[in-house]
Structure 1
Amino acid sequence: MSNVIPLHYQGHQIRFNTDGWLHATEISARFGREPYEWLRLPDTVGYLVALARALGAETKTGIFEELNKINGLDSSKASTQAKILRLSKATGLVKTRAGAPETGGGTWLHPKLAVAFARWLNVDFAVWCDLQIDALLHGGGAIRQHYESACRNLEIGQGKASISASELARWRWRKPGLEHEFDHWRNQLQMTLGFDAA
């Protein structure tokens, strides 16, 4: 996820992006839970299916029927957890990112799912989450645009710096050989033209 905004709830960092997506893995761990536990609940599956249909989510044929089969699965198995995430992601309302939760890796939920998920974690947190998403999506339009622009510029700059750093390292490695080659051919040219080598 790009454009991540860390907010704070009762001393804990909660990450959203500027589009209101919630970093579910990070926050659920603070409440001793996992996103897949919520995603497999019958009410969640029903809500996910209804929301995907209402938003016109482009999904594979049969994905809703597959989602409804989640209810009977044993979520203690890693393969079942992976299937729950795969099916949920197919709706376009759940995203996953590789990496450690501290760096943004994990499960991210669409703003329309985030409050329902937060309610499952803690009612007070759900109210706070709802207010934060509303502010992200509707408040500070010009500031938000400046922030998103700054994020893009930072990402572009980091990409260029990474390329530049690679090129600099490559140059440092190649420089002695190129200088040696330059000196050799300069000396050869000077000898050919009858000049003394410097």
Structure 2
Amino acid sequence: MKMRKIVTHEYDGTPVSFDMEGWMNASHAGGLFGKEPGHWFGLDLTQQYITGLASRRGVTLETLMVSRRGNERLRGLWLHPKLAAKFARWLSIDFEIWFEDQVEALTSRDAVAVQAARRQASTSYRSLCEALVITHRAVGKETKAHHYMNEARLINEVLTGVFQGRDRNQLTIAELELITLMENRDVLLLGQAKGYSDRKVALSEYLGQLCDGRVQHYGQLG
């Protein structure tokens, strides 16, 4: 289960934790009704469903449920949205309906966030292209199509270790945000008349700073 933003929603005044993909803290939910997730897992129909879902998705059972440690929001058994929906129905019909409403709201917001991240990345790339033109023009050099592509590939190489393009429609919000930050930093480096090699070194150092900051942030969440 990937680390994603954790949010809490209240059901009858009691908080239940979700992540932005619709995973739910089943320990929280079960506690609302005085029921243990383990009792639900012991049902034959539950075992049949879990086995069938894992087979259909081509995944292991362990990828559909995760026990997590940490603070009150994180601690407990987390269920894949498909399992969480079945578990919610077992708890109560009203809770199932409430659960469906929360997941719908989460996924809708996530879709909006993805579009916003793509727009930001598109804007930062345009700024990077303009910076290339200005930089080249200052030394009497014409900016050609491969210059734009190579600059994008430079950033991708720093991020992934591979000098090639990436389909941004397939990237996550976190990846898009990271590319946006890297492109904005590259614009500054071009403005300082840094050469290709120097920009690569500086971008690598900047990535290290960003990653260190994120590790510290997630450590605080746990």
TM-score by length of 2: 0.50
1:18 equivalent in structure 2: 20
2:30 match: 28
Question: Distance between the aligned counterparts of 1:14 and 1:98, measured in 2?
Answer: 16
Aligned: 1:156 with 2:213: yes
Q: 2:65 aligns with which of 94, 116, 124?
A: 94
**Residues 158, 50 of structure 1: CA spacing in aligned structure 2 closer, same or farther, 3 A cutoff?**
closer
In 2, distance between residues paired with 1:94 and 1:158? 23
Residues 111 and 33 from structure 1, CA distance in 2 versus in 1: closer, same or farther, beyond 3 angstroms? Answer: same
- Displacement of 1:130: 1.2
User: Following the alignment from structure 1 to structure 2, what is the Cα–Cα distance between the partners of residues 140 and 96?
Assistant: 24
Aligned counterparts, 1:58-77, within 5 A = 59=60
Q: Which amino acid aligns with 1:125?
A: F
Instruction: Give the gaps of 5 or more residues in structure 2.
Output: 118-172, 179-209
Deviation of residue 14 (structure 1)?
1.2
Residue 23 of structure 1 deviates from its aligned partner by 0.4
- How far apart in 1 are the matches of 2:84 and 2:100? 8
Deviations 1:36-82 (A, max 9, x none): 1111110100000111111111x3xxxxxxxxxxxxxxxxxxxxxxx
Aligned residues: 127
Task: Give, as a single letter, the amino acid of the residue that structure 1 aligns with 2:22.
Answer: G
Mapping of residues 28-177 of structure 1, within 5 Å:
28-57=30-59, 59=60, 88-89=61-62, 92-99=63-70, 102-139=72-109, 141-143=111-113, 156=213, 159=216
* Cα offset, 1:142, TM superposition: 3.0
Counterparts of 1:103 and 1:129 in 2: how far apart (Å)?
A: 17
- 1:126-173 C-alpha deviation (Å, 9 max, x unpaired): 011012112222345234677x65xx98x936718x8xxxxxxxxxxx
- 2:205 corresponds to: none
Number of the residue aligned with 1:169:
none
* TM-score, normalised by the number of residues in structure 1: 0.55
Change (3 A) 1:46 1:157: closer
Partner SS state of residue 19, structure 1: coil
Q: CA deviation at 1:35?
A: 1.1
Q: Which runs of 5+ in 1 are unaligned?
A: 60-87, 163-198
Render the CA deviation track for 1:89-114: whole Å, top value 9, x for unaligned. Answer: 2xx111111246x1411100000111
